[in-house]
């Protein structure tokens, strides 16, 4: 695991959760929503997020991605800017067609050895998850952004001292920022 030098990284029980909405997609005219591809702008947004994580020395150990084409492409573009990535990636239909409860269930099943976890999914679930998990110490501007909705390619950065991912619940983490590429 590689983390940035912040006060939370010195806590052995600290968890970092990165919640990202897919990059800008092509218009959905004439195709199934699940098959929509990223637009060029969406690929650029995702690469910028990958570059941001790489520059902060934050590489996820575990990545959960919706199985929709645009989220898979978002991950591929982001990881292309993270040459040191060595984590585990899985693709989930539940992130595409499920709600906050489904995603929370997936996150609670993540192994405790994975301190930095990333999720790439869709609105309104990504924003709702950030709002649900953000505790009282969260950045007010970032919480407000999540309540309005996550921009395409946007990523919430949350952390907290949880012994186990299975302990993840309402107000359990601090929302530090929303990265807007």
* Domain count along the chain: 1
Across the strands, what pairs with 19? 119, 156
- Contacts of residue 100, defined as CB under 8 A and 6 or more positions apart, other chains included, come to 125, 128, 129, 132
Is 6 within a domain?
A: no
Q: Is the peptide bond before 80 cis (omega within 30 degrees of 0)?
A: no
Which pLDDT does position 180 carry in this prediction?
95
Across the strands, what pairs with 179? 155
Is 137 within a domain?
A: yes
Which tens digits make up the pLDDT trace of 9-44? 445 558 999 999 999 999 877 789 999 999 999 999
Which tens digits make up the pLDDT trace of 1-12? 233 333 334 455
Give the 3-state secondary structure of 98-162. CCHHHHHHHHHCCCCCCCEEEEEECCCHHHHHHHHHECCCCCHHHHHHHHHCCCCCCEEEEEEEC
Is 136 within a domain?
A: yes
Which pLDDT does position 27 carry in this prediction?
86
Which pLDDT does position 29 carry in this prediction?
74
Is 107 within a domain?
A: yes
Integer Cα distance of 83 and 160 in angstroms: 26
Which tens digits make up the pLDDT trace of 80-139? 999 999 999 999 999 999 999 999 999 999 999 999 999 999 999 999 999 999 999 999
Q: pTM for this one? A: 0.92
Instruction: Find the length of the chain.
Output: 181
Cα distances from 29 to residues 32, 72, 96, 153, in angstroms, run: 8, 20, 19, 21
CATH number for the domain spanning 80: value is 3.40.50.1240
| pLDDT reading at 48 higher than 70 | yes
Residue range of the domain that includes 65: 18-26+33-146+160-174
């Amino acid at each position: 695991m590689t983390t940035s030098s912040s006060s939370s990284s010195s806590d052995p029980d600290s968890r970092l959760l990165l919640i990202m909405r897919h990059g800008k997609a092509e218009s959905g005219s004439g195709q199934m929503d699940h098959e929509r591809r990223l637009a060029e702008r969406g690929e650029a947004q995702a690469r910028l997020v990958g570059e941001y994580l790489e520059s902060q020395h934050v590489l996820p150990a575990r990545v959960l991605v919706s199985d929709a084409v645009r989220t898979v492409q978002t991950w591929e573009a982001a990881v292309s800017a993270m040459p040191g990535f060595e984590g585990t990636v899985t693709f989930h239909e539940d992130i595409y067609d499920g709600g906050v409860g489904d995603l929370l269930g997936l996150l609670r099943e993540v192994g405790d050895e994975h301190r930095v976890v990333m999720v790439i999914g869709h609105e309104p679930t990504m924003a709702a998850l950030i709002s649900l998990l953000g505790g009282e110490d969260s950045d007010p501007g970032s919480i407000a952004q999540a309540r309005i909705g996550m921009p395409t390619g946007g990523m919430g950065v949350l952390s907290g001292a949880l012994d186990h991912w299975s302990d993840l619940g309402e107000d359990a983490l601090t929302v530090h920022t929303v990265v807007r590429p």
